Amino acid sequence: MKLRLRIFLSFVFVIWFCLSVNGQDTIRTDIYEIVYSQLLEQPLRIKYQVLCPFGKEERAGMNFWKPENIHTSDNNDYKDNIWDKGHMVPASSFSCNEDTLYQTFNYLNSALQHQSLNRGVWARLEQFEKDLAKFYTVNVEIEVLFGDLQNCLPTGAVVPTGFNKTIWFDDKKIAFYFPNEDTTGKDWSDFIINQ
């Protein structure tokens, strides 16, 4: 009887978890749209258009902040580990003024991203997007992937397994897949999955 009860409770938990994961919040601002999972404490899908390819606003002293009434990750999730506060909507692409830059420092826009990926190929691809936007309208969509929901930090946030990123410009599309791991020594072009 105990085994049947445990199986039943496990089944109920799996159903509750799946329904909760599907419970998503869509947040639209004047610079981006984010679908966010409060259960995972991570963004799921992000859309933006690069607005400020020539922006020069400085980010010095700007810190991530939590929105009201939405349960997000926080500084504790990124403390003393290999995970960076990975901007999904890049700060440099919205450095038009202090307000647009500040909007990118919302924890809704922060994913647990391996520090090597965030500071390496991801950052260089963001610079490529910004350079493209000097000549074209550049639209970007990112899907944050959670193939393994077991990598939950003791602080509560779930670490993504990877990121799909698609860039549209000049009637062209480039799609990428980045595993959320050490990418030292690689180029962003190594992660193209189709053009």
DSSP 65: B
Q: Which CATH architecture has domain 26-194?
A: 3-Layer(aba) Sandwich (3.40)
The residue ranges of every structural domain in the chain are 26-194
Model confidence at 59, pLDDT cuts 50, 70, 90, reads confident
Region 100-104 average pLDDT: 95
Q: Is the pLDDT of residue 20 over 60?
A: no
Mean pLDDT of the chain: 89
Dist. CA 17–CA 138, nearest whole Å: 36
Model confidence at 124, pLDDT cuts 50, 70, 90, reads very high
